[in-house]
Amino acid sequence: MAPGQKMFDFEAALRHVARQTVLCVGDLMLDDFVYGEVTRISPEAPTPVLKVTHNSVEIGGAGNVARNIAALGAKCIFVGLVGDDAAAATLRESLGGLPAIAPELVADKKRPTTRKVRYVSEHHSAHLLRADWESAEPASAESEAAIIARAEAAMPKAGAVVLSDYAKGTLTERVIRAIIERARALHKPVIVDPKHHDYRVYRGATLITPNARELAAAVHRPVASDAEIAAAAAELARMIGSEAVLVTRSEQGMSLHVEGQAPIHIEAYPVKVRDVSGAGDTVAAVMAMLLATKTPYESAMRAANAAAAVVVGKRGTATVSLGELRHRILPAASLAPEDKIVFDWSVLDERLADWRRHGLRIGFTNGCFDLLHRGHIRLLAEARAACDVLVVGLNSDASTARLKGKGRPINPAEGRADVLAALEAVDLVVIFEEDTPLELIKRVRPIVLVKGADYRLADVVGRREVEAGGGDVILVDLVEGQSTTGLVQRSAKSAETPAPPKRSTKPART
């Protein structure tokens, strides 16, 4: 940070995200992930046999940019091209289930909807094979006109524009030029995730986000070192007249060139990578939303780097929630609490499955944990002693307010989760929105359910479900005089009691 430069307020910027609308135009596709285990080689050919356990069908390509925008709480107007087939019907239905996305899909009966099927070995976290159904032919003149018309009609409502180019024919030169020129006339930032063979077609874009390999191909020079990356990014910026170039470098992090500024290189977050599919979409989505809020380039890049770290830790074409992004960006005591807090329940499912594969006894308890006290510590310690791994369900801010009344919670969910995650007894913290943890308990399926002894056994939420699964319910004795409500009341009473008058230290006058 330059001397005298003011620290950027990420919390304030993230609060503004929900008020943003982003226009995304690009290649829509259907991503199908088929998961299973490989235990043998086929007798028919020297290829592995995947014993399929499940599959996941998701909106991919440029549609994943739209999904990330929606997951972060903003609105997205999405313009894309599909065929007239089953994959298009699935995409329309899926997009229709996401109220934050307004789809404007142009149908061309003469071309297939792009579909990609990936076969993944769960045990090795490896992609074995990908099968594609697609046509990379440029969109017809009629489709081009329809895409341009829909994009131009939506543009006045948007704070930023994303061109998500997968080289599948939607973003032809005519479409790209029309959208960039219209956006420049309206003073809208244009973010390009490029795939075109000639990057000069993107001239006038505000920001372009190639990976290192794409950058090298665009400027025909090596990009192995930081210095080479910086020089190539500057050359690309001059070539297309862009304000900035953001280079994504996988495990080496990101590099940023901004006109008139020194290059900036940041490292990637240390995370366990499960799947890199769609990470570039997440970067484009975060950059677009934050540039729409006038966030400086460097700060937006740091947020995008954090978001990418979240999604590569998930399977499939994943998204990042605002809570996950906030928790990754804002200061944390250590990486251990960071790894323990779960906002996305699909991550919870993966963690639980891993524990079960290792034969671990999963325990569960829950609460608001607004002001952590000795009673909470005893509850958590005894809960952990009864199992191998302990999941703690934490009431969200809205849920806590409904249960505890006006003025609660005292601490927001992110702060309460950080404190819990810092405790050795806690293995995972999961925030839930409901008034009771019943749905979360059904998801976790613990072998041990622990509550305080102020509950009657018959009144414990989830008791029947746990006992039906062969588990136990344990009631832990309370610590007398320890409760958050009591602490709040005593604090308020103390604040209302006037302090005794100070005794004068001056000698009395005679």
499 Cβ partners below 8 Å, 6+ apart?
A: none
Angle at the Cα of 342 (from 339 to 343), degrees rounded to 5?
140
Can you tell me whether residue 36 is helix, strand or coil? strand
How far, in Å, are 12, 56, 236 from residue 184 at the CA level? Answer: 27, 39, 19
281 catalytic? Reply is yes
Q: How many Cβ atoms sit within 10 Å of the Cβ of residue 348?
A: 17
Report CA dihedral (82, 86, 87, 89) to the nearest 10 degrees: 70
Contact of 52 with 35, CB cutoff 8 Å: yes
User: Which H or E run includes 338?
Assistant: helix 335-340
Rounded CA-CA distance 272/315 in Å is: 11
Rounded CA-CA distance 478/475 in Å is: 9
Q: Which residue among the candidates 193, 275, 281, 418 is catalytic per the annotation?
A: 281
Beta strands in 226-361 (DSSP E): 244-248, 254-258, 264-266, 341-342
Q: How many Cβ atoms sit within 10 Å of the Cβ of residue 50?
A: 19
Q: How many Cβ atoms sit within 10 Å of the Cβ of residue 133?
A: 15
Q: What secondary structure, in 3-state letters, does 451-469 show?
A: EECCCCHHHCCCHHHHHHC
Contact of 276 with 211, CB cutoff 8 Å: no
Which residues are annotated as catalytic?
A: 281
